[in-house]
Amino acid sequence: MKDRRVVITGLGVVSPIANGKKEYWQALKEGKNGVGPVTCFDATDFSVKIGAEVKDFDPTQWLPNKEAKRADRVIQFAIAASDMAMEDAGLTSESLDPHRFGVYIGSGQGGIETCFESFQTMMTKGPRKVSPFFIPMMIGNMSAAYVAIRHKAKGPNMCVVTACATSIHSIGEAVRTIERGDADVMLCGGTEAALRSICVAGFAAMKALSTRNDDPATASRPFEKDRDGFILGEGAGVMVIETLDRAIERGAHIYGEIVGYGSTCDAGHITAPDPEGDGAIRAMKLAMDQAGWAIDQVDLINAHGTSTPLNDKIESLAIRTLFGDRADTMMVNSTKSMIGHCLGAAGALETIAAIQSVEEGIVHKTLNLFEKDPDCDINVVTETTEAKVDRFLVNSFGFGGHNGVLAVERCRI
């Protein structure tokens, strides 16, 4: 049922630079940097002491204190972003048919803080001291479940887990759900609260994180010659998507239309991308083919752009291979230069950033590109730029070779 066109009508954001759609976009335009010393745990003995933390987040703004204590931080983020998206879309639970309303909100790590703390409790105090809320606070699907309970969404409900590609796959699969007629409205995106000691230790052991502890403001530097790893971030990005007909009928503000979705796997290595960028190329091409776009019609790519040596090189190769000479002029930016890598929430936060470029005709810059890596032979935007954006891609590539790409365009009625 591809004739069921799917549009974006609501945006919700919890991020390291600002909470809320308007505040987030303003911070991106200003080039605000969300990276700083870690304060959520004692990082004294860690090789990595920096991260992109969500600031000024009070869960009791969204939940009663008792309920907030029974919800992991990853769930709290999802609830806050979903509430914002619903409000932005002008929707309430009472205005929707619950059986035609679904939720696809994924998380790469789930309730990792709860898991770690509960394990410590068991080891120090014994198994009888483990909370009865441990399992429902920890398992990954509970963000989608909590949001569904909160908004009485009884339609399709799923937690996608594809590492850093999680929220792009969540959005793409939600689009497919509407297109095939299983729902009319979906809350979709990703949430992550993995900026905790055990995850930092694990990523640091892989040599995946930047160790620029003495200069956190310039540590996240996608496509830069001297990049040395990504910055672990946290947050949530959630969107309301619905059928175009429904959005028009109720007079909703339409941010854009999702017209293509590519999902592929490298099937080659547990962490490293395909050396020729094959999976990334195929995912971008799939999304563009579904959208019916030619190479010269793409105005912007919000890149995966992690600031790791291998990812940025391979993503650049994939863009250059697919787009050829068009890569010399087509705009590419990386939101991760400001908010770090929010793992399962990254793609949704980046889609929300890019859709604002369509709204305002402004493309946010990529921070810290002091000297571009010659292997990253693409047109990276280094200054916030006024530009008409009608069509964009969002790239997300995860450990395990999972690739997800969205194609979004200005909605034409």
Known catalytic residue at 164: yes
Q: Calculate ∠ Cα 187-65-198, nearest 5°.
A: 70
Q: What is the dihedral of CA 194, 195, 200, 203, to 10 degrees?
A: 50
Please tell me which residue in 115, 159, 164, 199 is annotated as part of the active site.
164
SS (H, E, C) the chain: CCCCCEEEEEEEEECCCCECHHHHHHHHHHCCCCCEECCCCCCCCCCCCEEECCCCCCHHHCCCHHHHHCCCHHHHHHHHHHHHHHHHHCCCHHHCCHHHEEEEEECCCCCHHHHHHHHHHHHHHCHHHCCCCHHHHHCCCHHHHHHHHHHCCCCCEECCCCHHHHHHHHHHHHHHHHHCCCCCEEEEEEEECCCCHHHHHHHHHCCCECCCCCCHHHCCCCCECCCCCECEECEEEEEEEEEHHHHHHCCCCCCEEEEEEEEEECCCCCCCCCCCCHHHHHHHHHHHHHHCCCHHHCCEEECCCCCCHHHHHHHHHHHHHHHHHHHHCCEEECCHHHHCECHHHHHHHHHHHHHHHHHHCEECCCCCCCCECCCCCCCECCCCEECCCCEEEEEEEECCCEEEEEEEECCCC
Q: How far is C-alpha 70 from the chain's CA centre?
A: 25
Q: What are phi and psi of 185, to 5 degrees?
A: -135, 140
What distance in Å separates the CA atoms of residue 315 and residue 302, rounded to the nearest whole number? 11
Catalytic sites, residue numbers: 164
